[in-house]
Structure 1
Amino acid sequence: MGTVDGKLNDVSMLGSVRNFAETAQFEQMFKDGMGMVEEAASYLDGEGRDHAKTLSRKGALAYAAESMRLTTRLMQVASWLLVQRAVARNEMTVTEARTQRYRLGAKELCYARPIEGADELPHPLADMIARSRRLYARVDRLDKMMHGDASEVEPKTAVARQLSKIESAFRQMKAEDRLH
């Protein structure tokens, strides 16, 4: 691949992105990613609601936080996959795809450790979370290989701010429980 100042140029990146997006590996990743989006939506809208009602207060907070992280992680993966496909179909340039706007985002949120109470999560949700973490990490590695390491510091997202508030409330609740 050609480089300019140590960075891959668009000509070589274009071939790399197009070639990857046309592989069976990409198609399987695309299918898996989109399938997980549908699976999570179905679970969280159906059976997951029933499961959430049976959790303790600590478990319910973890359910809210971790389901938000799950959907964020999956939306980031789905967006990234769609961008790669758009480049392969000449609907978008590699230069556009390499901008921060189209890169895999929300890393701070998506890689954050599970909050306290996550051990109470229903098995179907815990399983989806684990699989989404592996898929997100895989896409992150591919993104870095194909487009380089993002140099900009990612701004804190609205979801990350909300999760921080949930974690703060959880710490306060834990402190109150110690007083009783």
Structure 2
Amino acid sequence: MASAETSPVTVDFMVRFAASEQFDKVFREGMGLVEETANYLDGPGRQDARLLDRHGAVAYAAESMRLTTRLMQLASWLLLQRAIGAGEMKPEEVRRERHRISLAELGPGNTLNGTDQLPKALLDIIARSLALHQRVLKFDAMLKMQDKASLAANESPVNNQIDRIASAFGPRS
């Protein structure tokens, strides 16, 4: 029988991913995009919006809202993953909190009358946020698949029997 030091350890993909250089790059990109967006919308974006007619102004307002909502949800997802990597939250806690983040409904909305007037700078930020959203969706799908696989392994009748045998014949205190 294997001792506690030599027993196999399940590697949690969430923890490994959150501590990876790949995640760090996506995190920096996402948070940088949040900051860039805030600076644009509070500065040059206000000036750009004043140049639009009524339809353009409505499209600008709608796209700005979609953009900020998308970025806030992405930032929330990224911060949760970073908390795992930093050891601030356990993966189980993050799994419970994940339901508050809705990534699926953050894509491009319907094209509005006046969208053709939107400033290039805003369109560029929107395009980059949508690309980031797609990458985060892929990462999130991988994490969910790992969650399901872990749950299935833990709920296996064979694993339950092995656990019972191990507890019956394991070291006694």
Query: TM-score when scaled to structure 1?
Result: 0.69
Corresponding residue for 1:53? 50
Q: Find the partner of 1:95 among 92, 96, 108.
A: 92
Deviation readout 1:115-144 (Å, 9 max, x if unpaired): 332221000000000110110111011111
Corresponding residue for 1:123? 120
Asked if the contact 1:62/1:116 (under 8 Å) is kept, the reply is: yes
Corresponding residue for 2:63? 66
Corresponding residue for 2:138? 141
Q: Find the partner of 2:35 among 34, 38, 42.
A: 38
Q: 1:102 Cα deviation (Å)?
A: 5.0
Query: TM-score when scaled to structure 2?
Result: 0.72
Asked if the contact 2:19/2:85 (under 8 Å) is kept, the reply is: yes
The change in CA–CA distance for 1:134 and 1:20 in structure 2 (over 3 A counts) is same
Q: 1:106 Cα deviation (Å)?
A: 5.3
Number of aligned residues? 139
Asked if the contact 1:17/1:146 (under 8 Å) is kept, the reply is: yes
Asked if the contact 2:15/2:91 (under 8 Å) is kept, the reply is: no
Cα distance in structure 2, aligned partners of 1:54 and 1:114: 20
SS of equivalent residue, structure 1 residue 98 = helix
Q: 1:112 Cα deviation (Å)?
A: 2.5
Cα distance in structure 1, aligned partners of 2:109 and 2:96: 24
Asked if the contact 2:103/2:137 (under 8 Å) is kept, the reply is: no
Counterpart residue type for residue 69 of structure 1: R
Cα distance in structure 2, aligned partners of 1:29 and 1:65: 26
Cα distance in structure 2, aligned partners of 1:116 and 1:92: 44
Deviation readout 1:6-47 (Å, 9 max, x if unpaired): xxxxx85x7211111122211110110000001000000000
Counterpart residue type for residue 42 of structure 1: N
Counterpart residue type for residue 80 of structure 1: W
Q: 1:49 Cα deviation (Å)?
A: 0.2
Q: 1:103 Cα deviation (Å)?
A: 5.7
Asked if the contact 1:110/1:133 (under 8 Å) is kept, the reply is: yes
C-alpha RMSD over aligned residues: 2.3
Asked if the contact 2:70/2:129 (under 8 Å) is kept, the reply is: yes
The change in CA–CA distance for 1:118 and 1:107 in structure 2 (over 3 A counts) is farther
Asked if the contact 1:103/1:143 (under 8 Å) is kept, the reply is: no
Q: Which consecutive residues of structure 2, in runs of 5 or more, have no partner in the other structure?
A: 1-8, 147-173
Q: 1:145 Cα deviation (Å)?
A: 1.0
